[in-house]
Copies of this chain bind each other. A is one copy, B any other.
Amino acid sequence: MSENNDVKKEVTDKYSLRGRVYNRLREDILSGKLKENEELREISIGEELGVSRTPVREAFRQLELEGLITIIPNKGAFVTGITGKDVKDIYMIRSHLEGLCARLACDHITDEQLEEMEENIYLGEFHASKGHMDQMAELDNRFHDILYEACDSKMLENLLKDYHQYVLRIRKKTLSTSRGTVSNEEHRAIMEAIKAHDHKQAEKLANKHINNAYQNMVDNGLYNLYGNPE
């Protein structure tokens, strides 16, 4: 549960050494640059980034609470592995919460948010047809962020954003397939349902959207890259 103020957090991350270390390590773990069970030594990390052990240690504590590393007392810090089961569970949970989020959005979405969604989808059609994968990933990110913001629940929004981040590296690969176009169409359907205040339909579609993303990943054998599938 990290329900802290995002704005202030960004400031911290940008200007403090601890924040820089935290972001860097987080990125490296999520991107797979740091592999499962790899040991992180305070001194070498510090030297690499040109800082002392103190900010490194503080970053470690955060990463530990986030579950990205496991700290064994007096022994060291190790990259926590995500098993295939974990990924499956995350998608299951996300699918539920994303449905809930879409349902809530029916009542709380603003005109500005709806407009940005429409623009997002419109652009998505263009980039999907052109095969611009980076832009598609970017648009997908943004679509879901808007949806999360539209539910008008900071708690749910932050939770969903956490999970979204967590599966970032997986999603990046998934969207590199032909799913880009289909995904964009699903976004449109979700948006239409929200626009029409059709709670049930919005929930159902958002739910399905996440399940589809997972299914697609499994079908393409992509999730085996991230730890043993069980």
Q: Is the CB of B93 within 8 A of A166?
A: no
Q: Is the CB of B89 within 8 A of A154?
A: yes
On chain B, the residues within 8 Å of A54 by CB distance are 54
Q: How many copies does the complex hold?
A: 2
From 62 to 100 in chain A, residues with beta carbon under 8 angstroms from any chain B beta carbon are 62, 64-67, 70-73, 80, 85-86, 89-90, 92-93, 96-97, 100
User: Interface of chain A, helix or strand or loop or mixed?
Assistant: helix
Q: How far is the CB of A73 from chain B (nearest CB, A)?
A: 5
Q: Is the CB of B72 within 8 A of A159?
A: no
Q: Is the CB of B70 within 8 A of A5?
A: yes
Q: Which of B4, B156, B163 contacts A1 (CB 8 A)?
A: B163
Q: Known contacts A8-B72, A12-B73, A61-B61: does B100 contact A96 (CB below 8 Å)?
A: yes
Q: Is the CB of A153 within 8 A of B72?
A: no
On chain B, the residues within 8 Å of A96 by CB distance are 96-97, 100
Measured CB to CB, the residues of A under 8 A from B are: 1-5, 8, 11-12, 15-16, 18, 54, 57-59, 61-62, 64-67, 70-73, 80, 85-86, 89-90, 92-93, 96-97, 100, 153-156, 158-159, 162-163, 166
Q: Which 7 A-B pairs have the closest CB atoms?
A: A3-B67, A89-B155, A89-B153, A61-B61, A58-B61, A62-B65, A65-B65
